[in-house]
Structure 1
């Protein structure tokens, strides 16, 4: 018996569905194990990432507590345990707490009057490319301050040149040391305008600006007017 058009459509749909079902069965037999393995691997990778993040967060929390404890110990006058904790933090890793511990160690040496050791430690941090740039810049400032009296003025100027920029985050300290270095080189024509620029920068501490006003005035530059413009 011949199929009517309606029956033909139903027949073709049925055949098409059976073909698709057969193709799916063949595909699952061929690739089902592989797909299952990939799903398991993806779940394992996700679990591993979540576990690693948890462990990392826990480790950072522990290091934060250790650093806070070391600073508290220093504040209480318990220097020996503070130094021990700082040493462990500084030696174990290159994260922020390791860098902060190294900076604190150098600061301790400076506070004890061991300027040579402090400057050497600050220089090591400043030269460490694994340390974030803001910390390296801070180490450059602190190290230069520690050995300012023993450095040649030209060395001070060259070292601080990238930081002694008006409007920059380190302009106060770097600009002042650079201006003083120019004075030591008997170059008041370069020192005066720099002191005036410091006096004009209202983001700087008032004590620094007051010094800049006084010295620039002695050098014949109107730092008072510059400070007034800034206000």
Structure 2
């Protein structure tokens, strides 16, 4: 390579370095800002995670402390004093409903459970628990058609409370005087998967009460 060519190459390299340094001086702050944002975002996420964990521990400790109280009225007072939002509020209302039941306040329990049942922001499982408990507690105070509609929704295939809801539907059918229909529902329930031993025994007793034969596997 000739000296002129070498000189030109050196000049080109110098120009490239000048352009690079110029770009770094002009736009380097963007890179620094991005680094700060990434580091700051990670720090904020860790702080928020720590805050969430602390809030969860505080909520859990408060609930356990309230549940350790043996007096239903005091228990409800302590549960009511707990500050909770979102899913935790749903859990708290389910516990308040249970406290109302212990205190023999059926009206209060039904009102609290209905609040959970009708809150579309809560997980479906919470709402289904509340709906099932409200139907059981309410009994004949709730119109038959309303109870049947609620239980039929809970008894849909794939639903967690399907076996228990089918049992209650059989009892509801018996309540309305349709013993043959109740017997058929009870017998069909024994063919369902995921029927616990305790539920199987209850349904077998119901079948006998309705005039059916004792299931052979429980005889």
**After the TM superposition, which of the residue ranges 26-35 and 162-171 deviates more from structure 2?**
162-171
**CA RMSD after TM alignment:** 2.6
Residues matched between the structures, number: 218
8 A contact 2:73–2:103 mirrored in 1: no
> C-alpha deviations, 1:189-228, integer Å up to 9, x for none?
4322221233345744434322311322444555614xx3
Shift of 1:134: 0.3
Q: Which residue of 1 aligns with 2:140?
A: 149
SS in 2 for 1:131: coil
8 A contact 1:212–1:223 mirrored in 2: no
Shift of 1:86: 1.2
8 A contact 1:156–1:177 mirrored in 2: no
Counterpart Cα distance in 2 of 1:13 and 1:222: 102
Q: Taking structure 2 as the reference length, what is the TM-score of the superposition? A: 0.85
Shift of 1:139: 0.2
68, 78, 82: which one pairs with 1:85? 78
> Does 2:59 align with 1:73?
no
**After the TM superposition, which of the residue ranges 122-131 and 44-53 deviates more from structure 2?**
44-53
Which structure 2 segments of 5+ residues have no match?
none
Q: Taking structure 1 as the reference length, what is the TM-score of the superposition? A: 0.81
* Aligned 1:76-225 pairs, distance under 5 A: 77=71, 79-80=73-74, 82-89=75-82, 91-96=83-88, 98-165=89-156, 168-201=159-192, 203-219=194-210, 221-222=212-213, 224-225=215-216
Counterpart Cα distance in 2 of 1:73 and 1:218: 40
Which structure 1 segments of 5+ residues have no match?
none
CA separation of 1:63 and 1:150: change in aligned 2, threshold 3 A = same
8 A contact 1:195–1:216 mirrored in 2: yes
SS in 2 for 1:169: coil
